[in-house]
């Protein structure tokens, strides 16, 4: 009986946590990503930029920095802020990923223990 009561209480606690914490975060993320994608699609044509980049990279690899600099110089300020924000977020996520990989590679037993608990 006590175990059943504990399960029901914990289910409610996790449900309240999910509603208060996860749903707003997921909704906010989805809203932000939708706005960012809509703005990106409205500001520049990504496929054309990619094809131009591949053309430059295929002919001369040393011209890539000049291509990137000229592309950034021709951007509108709002698109430049969007691009810089995406770059910063990508950098932060890459650093977090590399730190996690380093910790897991230094402590392989920790990864096995974490999977064993599930």
pLDDT tens per residue, range 46-70? 778 888 888 888 888 888 899 888 8
Given this model, what pLDDT does residue 35 score? Answer: 82
CA atoms within 13 A on the CB side of 5: 2
Segments making up each domain of the chain, as ranges: 1-43, 44-74, 77-118
Where would I find the beta strands (DSSP E) of 1-99?
Answer: none
pLDDT tens per residue, range 8-19? 888 888 888 888
What angle, 0 to 180 degrees and rounded to 10, lies between the N-to-C axes of helices 46-59 and 64-73? 150
Tokens representing 108?
């392989």
């Amino acid at each position: 009986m006590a175990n059943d009561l504990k399960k029901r209480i914990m289910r409610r606690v996790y449900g309240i946590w999910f509603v208060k914490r996860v749903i707003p975060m997921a909704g906010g993320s989805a809203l932000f990503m939708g706005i960012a994608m809509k703005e990106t699609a409205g500001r520049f044509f990504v496929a054309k930029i990619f094809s131009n980049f591949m053309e430059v990279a295929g002919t001369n690899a040393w011209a890539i920095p000049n291509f990137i600099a000229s592309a950034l110089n021709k951007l509108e300020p709002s698109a430049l802020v969007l691009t810089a924000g995406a770059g910063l977020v990508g950098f932060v996520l890459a650093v977090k990923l590399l730190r996690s990989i380093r910790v897991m590679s230094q402590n392989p037993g920790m990864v096995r223990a974490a999977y064993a608990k599930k």
